[in-house]
Amino acid sequence: MGMTRIIAFSGKGGVGKTSLAAVTVKALTEKFPHKKILAIDADPAVGLATALGIEVSLTIDDIRRKVVASVEDGDTKTAVELLGEAKYHIFDAIVETEAFSFIAVGRPESAGCYCKINSYLKEIIALVADNFDYIVIDGEAGIEQINRRVMEKVTHLVLVTDASKKGTQVVQTIKKVADTLVMYEKLGVIVNRMPDESVKQYLDLEGLPVLAYIGQDSDLSAFDITGQNVFLMPEESVMMGGVCQALENLGLA
């Protein structure tokens, strides 16, 4: 099958990562109808499922809880045995559609700590990756998951910002962290929700390669509000064009 391409989206909250990840899944399924594509929703808000029109009944976190609950006393089974058990369940959590597969990480039980679920996510990605040609990950806001090395197997890291100073600062920070933790082949920025071209000159991206500038997408705003899935989006939409351009610049299309 060759090398699995793992494309992860990262950036501050509210810049449109989920929509971009969803449209990327759509673009890949249309471009490579015979390839196996997996979408991973790694954001606890589970927005990617909605954007892709998927009903989620079981998440990776549900499985983790089941497996942990099955061990009355935490030390009776080795980590390897637990992982083996989880592996069987993982395939139950993968939702299959004709065009792609989907899995959600879900929300960890304690608000503060993602440590357990993140190390677990890393194992899961390793377990299932070989079965797919392309994996698209919608990461949570910020750099938490990159810090936890969940993303270390990522081949293509897409940093998403809007035209705000804060957005561009976050992608610069993520880049610095990623340089030490992620073995990526390619990295680039999508500047999303650009009010107009004149803004470009003010963007401080410290020389980061820009994959695409994407203007405000009125189609998408309407889709976001109504919770419709991106597969119903018109082909000529602004975001679809931008995503295809970004994939080309990453050498993926």
- What is the arithmetic mean of pLDDT over 102-129? 68
Write down the pLDDT at residue 121: 63
Q: Is 79 helix (H, G, I), strand (E, B) or coil?
A: helix
**What's the pLDDT at 187?**
95
Residue 117 pLDDT greater than 60, yes or no: no
- Give the pLDDT of residue 96: 95
In the block, residue with structure tokens 């797919």: 132
Rounded distance between C-alpha atoms, residue 42 and residue 174, angstroms: 17
What is the share, in percent, of the chain residues with pLDDT greater than 90? 41
* pLDDT tens digit sequence for 205-219: 888 999 999 998 776
* pLDDT given at position 231: 87
Question: With bands split at pLDDT 50, 70 and 90, how would you rate the model's confidence at 91?
Answer: confident
What does the pLDDT average to over 111-117?
54
What does each C-alpha distance from 204 to 126, 162, 215, 231 come to in angstroms? 35, 11, 18, 33
In 3-state terms, what secondary structure has residue 134?
strand
Best CA proximity match to 170, nearest among 149, 151, 191: 191
**pLDDT value of position 175:** 92
Mean local confidence (pLDDT), 30-53: 90
Per DSSP, the three-state class of 2 is: coil
Tell me how crowded residue 225 is: count the other CB atoms within 10 A of its CB: 8
Three-state secondary structure readout of 152-164: HHCCEEEEEECCC
Task: Please tell me the CATH superfamily of domain 5-249, with its number.
Answer: P-loop containing nucleotide triphosphate hydrolases (3.40.50.300)
Q: Is the pLDDT of residue 87 over 80?
A: no
Calculate helix-pair angle for 115-129, 60-70, nearest 10 degrees: 110
Q: How confident is the model at residue 129 (pLDDT cuts 50, 70, 90)?
A: confident
Mean pLDDT, residues 174-195 taken together:
91
Whether the pLDDT of residue 244 is over 90: the answer is yes
pLDDT digits (tens, 9 = 90+) for 137-168: 998 766 666 666 567 788 999 999 999 999 99
Percent of the chain with pLDDT over 70: 78
pLDDT at residue 28 tops 80: yes
- Taking Cα atoms as reference points, which of 49, 2, 21, 6 lies closest to residue 135? 6
Instruction: Give the phi and the psi of residue 199 in degrees, each rounded to 5.
Output: -70, -25
